[in-house]
Amino acid sequence: MRMIRSQAGVESHSHWFTESTLAESCRSGECLICSNLIHSERQAIHSFLWEGMMSPRARTDFLKGGGFCGRHFWIAKRIEEDEWPSGGIGVALLCENVVADTIENLPSSKELNRPRPMGPFREKPRVDVPSSGSGCIFCHDWSAREESLVEVLEFLKRKPTWSEKVERSPLCVRHTLMALQIWKQPADKLQLRATLEEHLRQLQTDLKEFIRKHDWNYRAEPLGRERDAVSRAIQGLTGLARQFPTQKNGAEGGGNNGTRRR
């Protein structure tokens, strides 16, 4: 009985912590899960650059995953530019580690001198080159966290204070479909599906109207709510634009000779 109570206490604390972090990242009109994931990953990458990367275990996990994926490498670079404008070297050190590891794992001369094997019926063998950062530690964290957030959201949405927040910040297509697989109550899932379908049909109408008004014959008509339909469609289908970092002009090199600290 004590173990059951202890487990219930852990789950209660987990729900409270998730609720507080979701509340902090809640933005009207943006997918609640996406917004929280972006907020938390920025904090995690900043922490990694500040001190985490100095841990041998963290560095090993980083290299084992092939470094960061492209998106997280660029996010790390932008965070470094913002937080260490005089010229941080954390991302440079991580890149140097990945480059060294890549050099060490280049195909040997012996392997390259072997004739390329042919498959049955002289089919070309499948080319298998892993993408850079295919085992990115932050991609793994993102995946685990989003499922946890979606699961807790079913519990939170029953609270009066949260039903309005969920309505103001509807889930994107991906996280709605994820919730339809994870949530337990059929009534919750049916309501969520109905909300998604209604949203998609309205979006479809807005996109058609946007396309119509860009036809030469109707260009004189002023744009209405369909004005931002394309942005809303991309955001709903692929997630928030904020997940992709923007590049500062002239940021390469961490500052010029007049601003960089020696």
In the chain, where the domains are located: 29-105+131-243
Q: Can you give the three-state secondary structure of 96-127, one letter per residue?
A: HHHHHHHHHCCCCHHHHHCCCCCCHHHCCCCC
Higher per-residue confidence, 114 vs 96: 96
> If you count them, how many residues does the chain have?
262
CB pairs under 8 A, 24+ apart, for 234-242? 235/30, 235/31, 235/172, 236/31, 236/172, 236/173, 236/199, 236/200, 236/203, 237/172, 237/173, 238/172, 239/31, 239/34, 239/172, 239/174, 240/30, 240/31, 240/34, 240/35, 240/38, 240/172, 242/35, 242/38
pLDDT above 60: residue 261: no
pLDDT above 50: residue 255: no
Helix axes 90-104, 56-64, angle to 10 degrees: 50
User: What are the structure tokens assigned to 50, written together?
Assistant: 């500040």
pLDDT computed for residue 192 by the predictor: 92
User: What are the structure tokens assigned to 136, written together?
Assistant: 């990115």
**Amino acid identity of 134?**
S
Distance CA 212, CA 202 (A): 15
pTM greater than the 0.85 cutoff: no
pLDDT above 90: residue 178: yes
Q: Which helix (H) or strand (E) holds 200?
A: helix 186-213
pLDDT tens digits, one per residue of 102-133: 898 888 888 888 877 666 666 777 777 777 78
Higher per-residue confidence, 125 vs 91: 91
Specify whether the CB–CB gap between 224 and 208 falls below 8 A.
no
pLDDT tens digits, one per residue of 127-166: 777 777 889 999 999 998 999 999 988 888 888 878 777 7
Q: How confident is the model at residue 196 (pLDDT cuts 50, 70, 90)?
A: very high
CA angle centred on 120, ends 116 and 123, rounded to 5°: 60
User: What are the structure tokens assigned to 147, written together?
Assistant: 């499922």
Q: Give the pLDDT mean for 216-228.
A: 91
pLDDT computed for residue 10 by the predictor: 33
pLDDT above 90: residue 77: yes
CA angle centred on 78, ends 131 and 67, rounded to 5°: 30
pLDDT tens digits, one per residue of 4-31: 343 344 344 455 556 777 777 676 678 8
Instruction: Please give the DSSP secondary-structure letter assigned to residue 169.
Output: S
